[in-house]
């Protein structure tokens, strides 16, 4: 029964993580892993989606503004 409880929590946290920003997603997926460990199951990293590559250049709106040539 306790195992099912933690598995359910882990699944709910993963559903929430799908809609979260990258930082929050990483934290939620770590939390889900801890729930899996408490529930006695381990999920492989291959089942998780990789995080998106961080943006290296700021948006174009940062460069355009009044007073620039």
For 25-53, what is each residue's pLDDT tens digit? 999 999 999 999 988 765 544 456 676 77
More confident residue, 29 or 66: 29
Nearest CA to 33 out of 25, 42, 21 is that of: 42
For residue 37, what is the enclosing H or E element?
helix 22-39
Question: What global pTM score does this model have?
Answer: 0.55
More confident residue, 12 or 1: 12
Q: Residue 28's pLDDT is what?
A: 96
pLDDT at residue 62 is higher than 80: no
pLDDT at residue 19 is higher than 70: yes
Q: Which burial class, exposed, middle or buried, applies to 47 when counting CB atoms under 10 A from its CB (0-12, 13-18, 19+)?
A: exposed
CA distance 51 to 62: 25
């Amino acid at each position: 029964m306790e195992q099912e409880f933690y598995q359910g929590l882990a699944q709910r946290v993963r559903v929430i993580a799908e809609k979260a920003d990258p930082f929050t997603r990483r934290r939620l997926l770590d939390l889900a892993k801890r729930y899996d460990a408490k529930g006695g199951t381990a999920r492989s990293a291959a089942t998780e989606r990789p995080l998106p590559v961080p943006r290296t250049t700021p948006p174009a709106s940062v460069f355009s503004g009044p007073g620039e040539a």
